[in-house]
Amino acid sequence: MFSLFPDGMTDDNTNFSSLEGSDVGLVSCSSFAFNEPFSFELGGSIPSFKLCYETYGKLNADCSNAILVCHALSGDHHVAGRYTAEDRKPGWWHSIVGPGRPLDTNRYFVLGVNCIGGCRGSTGPGSVNPLTGSPYGLDFPQLTMRDMVRAQYRLVRALGIERLHAVIGGSMGGMQSLLFGTEYPDAVRCVIALACAARQNTQAIAFNEVGRIAILQDPGWQNGRYPVENGPRAGLAVARMLAHITYLSEKSLERRFGRERKAHSAGAGPFGVEFEVESYLRHQGHSFVNRFDANSYLYITKAIDRFDLAGGGALEDAFAPMKARALVVGFSSDWLYPPAQNREIALAMLRAGKNAAYVEVDSSDGHDSFLLPSPLLHQTVRAFLDAVG
Amino acid sequence: MFSLFPDGMTDDNTNFSSLEGSDVGLVSCSSFAFNEPFSFELGGSIPSFKLCYETYGKLNADCSNAILVCHALSGDHHVAGRYTAEDRKPGWWHSIVGPGRPLDTNRYFVLGVNCIGGCRGSTGPGSVNPLTGSPYGLDFPQLTMRDMVRAQYRLVRALGIERLHAVIGGSMGGMQSLLFGTEYPDAVRCVIALACAARQNTQAIAFNEVGRIAILQDPGWQNGRYPVENGPRAGLAVARMLAHITYLSEKSLERRFGRERKAHSAGAGPFGVEFEVESYLRHQGHSFVNRFDANSYLYITKAIDRFDLAGGGALEDAFAPMKARALVVGFSSDWLYPPAQNREIALAMLRAGKNAAYVEVDSSDGHDSFLLPSPLLHQTVRAFLDAVG
């Protein structure tokens, strides 16, 4: 068995016995089919679409207790719980959702949605185009963060919810939370954005571009028309390995792996696995390829790179329509979306006269800190939601 | 013409008119053939080898004024000057070498050597194995930093130099400077190490590994037996693009490119060039492929990753044999080999009772700062060499 975390941490975020509450138990996912066209911000449309989602807790009588959780690039609708008792891994944000947890399912109806353009059940470039009977591939329209948020809003309305209690997310999910607050000001009471930025910075574009080039140059990509079971696996693995480094921190890598040598080298030859960190990265790349579609990776990273909330203007102007109370959280060791870029969001909200708070959480786990159970993060989210009431 | 630096900086490091001295003019390279075996630290040997080198200035009568310049991963022996008056690009450290410059060719005999294992004229995996008549490929023995330094030492001796006035280098070249001082204590008066580390850190290994995987997974790699003109170009380009990001800084990328869109998109389709930074990176990848061998990239990055001067012991013990005076320079925005890792080197030297100084140069250009003309860097190197006398 491949050991990811030599220091005893587990791979599945279940190491939070010291944290409050209990988990949501067994869950199942649902799908909502929209038999109507969806038009994309940059042009083009699809004749119909579906969104895959999961819910935890109960929607109350006046439909006022819903919290939408927006996922990050590699996430999906499976936010919490397990599908079967044997599932090794729970949902990606299992630690924060459940009875007595910050997203308290005794109080809230929590909703996770796989974004449009994704590959985990919602319609994306890997889905079959009903007009041709073949997967969309590059015929899928170009994607933006606004498209993703608009699709989620359609689902929220379809579920009978006029106003969300909160929208919360980290990384790309944080960007979507911000957009939800500005695009649908009457549809959300509070916005919680973690580990994100109001605009994708140049370095982050650069990293995404290298990942895309790795996919595009893989002969298996075939201009996006690859068979489902045999796509640009090598290129996608490289993209993921690279991105994964940007989600961690030099300190956390040093702490977890240091310069430890792999006892039994997996790869033969002079460039097989030598260091533990190499083994870890190869495992990350390999397992990602089995759960993610390369075209979705291209479309979603492009949507992230295009994200610029201010659109060349002043950021406070972008927040002018927002009515929600807002909480922005940065993480000290996050170098992909550094604390300063998160703080800037809250400051712009304040300049726009909004009710906004900024908290910087001290962490050594880099960008991924927002995914990991942390008492300070949990207390912060809980206190904010309690304060809103 | 592709514009790398929209803010007016040039690509060829010639923007240092405000700096002192003049350049070395036209130069030519030489090659030294060793008709004797070279044994490698990790086992294996080659029956003969050659090293490509360049010199600037004149060796004095007692051979006491030589300065060895060690290059970084993608560098070579062509440190300064131009081969023809039409050459667009001078040597990679043109700004610091020349009459009146810090490595003053009126005083010093400056020597640049392409490392063993390299691909710019010195013997490496792309060279023909005299025993088989074919390129070594993966039959080239595994490489370490000690091998590179030992080969350079052989050349230094072959040129009649018993003791170098100085060894200087940045990044991998800095690691070599440190090793030279500890492996050949009587052969060097001063050591200048810039933007380096006493051990390759985990994150830096991780980035190198992703680059190697990109090459190894390129079908063009063919287990290292690719034709000279048609190797794993796509994989090598990805490796270079990725590495290039780590040589810069978020701030410098933001300043140079921001979120500027490319006016005339080069690539067709939805994933062609959209942002200026993408165009810049693709250009970096493309031009690197035309001047660098993929197997050399694999061998040299592995040698860097294996570098750990203390070898598991205390760093001060590693410096015990060193007799040279030492200067270590870190750059504030270098996140590949951060200032703290450079400072640690100087502190360990001091703990070992050595004559060592540490200077942190304020810069916003990331790891590559050591290559760029900077008044503070130039003053520091000049003052140190003057103080040694």
Lowest mean pLDDT among A61-75, A270-284, B14-28, B72-86: B14-28
Looking at chain B, the whole-number percentage of residues with pLDDT higher than 70 is 94
Per-residue confidence (pLDDT) for residue A266, from 0 to 100:
55
User: For residues A206 and B204, what is the distance between their CA atoms, to the nearest angstrom?
Assistant: 17
User: For residues B142 and B137, what is the distance between their CA atoms, to the nearest angstrom?
Assistant: 11
Stretch A102-126: mean pLDDT, rounded?
A: 98
Per-residue confidence (pLDDT) for residue A268, from 0 to 100:
62
Cβ atoms of residues A360 and A346 within 8 Å: no
| DSSP category for residue B267 | S
A171, A252, A363, A374: the catalytic one is A171
Cβ atoms of residues B336 and B250 within 8 Å: no
Contacts with A298 from chain B: Cβ below 8 Å: 270-271
CA distance A55 to chain B (A): 34
A23, A367, A374, A378: the catalytic one is A367
pLDDT in tens, B311-357: 989 999 999 999 999 999 999 999 999 999 999 999 999 999 999 99
Per-residue confidence (pLDDT) for residue B312, from 0 to 100:
86
Per-residue confidence (pLDDT) for residue B110, from 0 to 100:
98
Lowest mean pLDDT among A159-173, B13-27, B109-123: B13-27
Per-residue confidence (pLDDT) for residue A228, from 0 to 100:
85
Residue A288 host element (H or E): helix A276-289
Looking at chain A, the whole-number percentage of residues with pLDDT higher than 90 is 91
Of A138, A202, A302, the CB nearest to B253: A202
CB contact under 8 A, A271 and B302: yes
CA distance B40 to chain A (A): 14
DSSP helix/strand/coil, B389: coil
User: For residues A219 and A340, what is the distance between their CA atoms, to the nearest angstrom?
Assistant: 40
Mean pLDDT of chain B: 94
Query: What is the CATH architecture of B30-209+310-388?
Result: 3-Layer(aba) Sandwich (3.40)
Q: How far is CA A132 from the centre of its chain?
A: 31
pLDDT band for position A389 (cuts 50, 70, 90): confident
Residue A171 host element (H or E): none
Residue A169 host element (H or E): strand A164-170
Sequence spans of domains, chain A: 30-388
Per-residue confidence (pLDDT) for residue A361, from 0 to 100:
98
User: For residues A115 and A112, what is the distance between their CA atoms, to the nearest angstrom?
Assistant: 9
pLDDT band for position A269 (cuts 50, 70, 90): confident
pLDDT in tens, A38-70: 999 999 999 999 999 999 999 999 999 999 999
pLDDT in tens, A276-334: 999 999 999 999 999 999 999 999 999 999 999 999 899 999 999 999 999 999 999 99
Of B205, B237, B253, the CB nearest to A277: B205
Mean pLDDT of chain A: 94
> Domain A30-388 is in which class?
alpha beta
pLDDT in tens, B293-315: 999 999 999 999 999 999 989 99
pLDDT band for position A175 (cuts 50, 70, 90): very high
Per-residue confidence (pLDDT) for residue A263, from 0 to 100:
79
pLDDT higher than 50, residue B13: no
pLDDT band for position A99 (cuts 50, 70, 90): very high
Bridge partners, residue A103, by sequence: A97
CA distance B4 to chain A (A): 14
Residue A284 host element (H or E): helix A276-289
CB contact under 8 A, B275 and A305: yes
Stretch B69-73: mean pLDDT, rounded?
A: 98
pLDDT higher than 60, residue A194: yes
Per-residue confidence (pLDDT) for residue A343, from 0 to 100:
98
User: What value does the CA radius of gyration of chain A take, rounded to a whole number of Å?
Assistant: 20
User: For residues B221 and B125, what is the distance between their CA atoms, to the nearest angstrom?
Assistant: 13
Of A210, A249, A278, the CB nearest to B209: A278
Question: Does the active-site annotation cover B165?
Answer: no
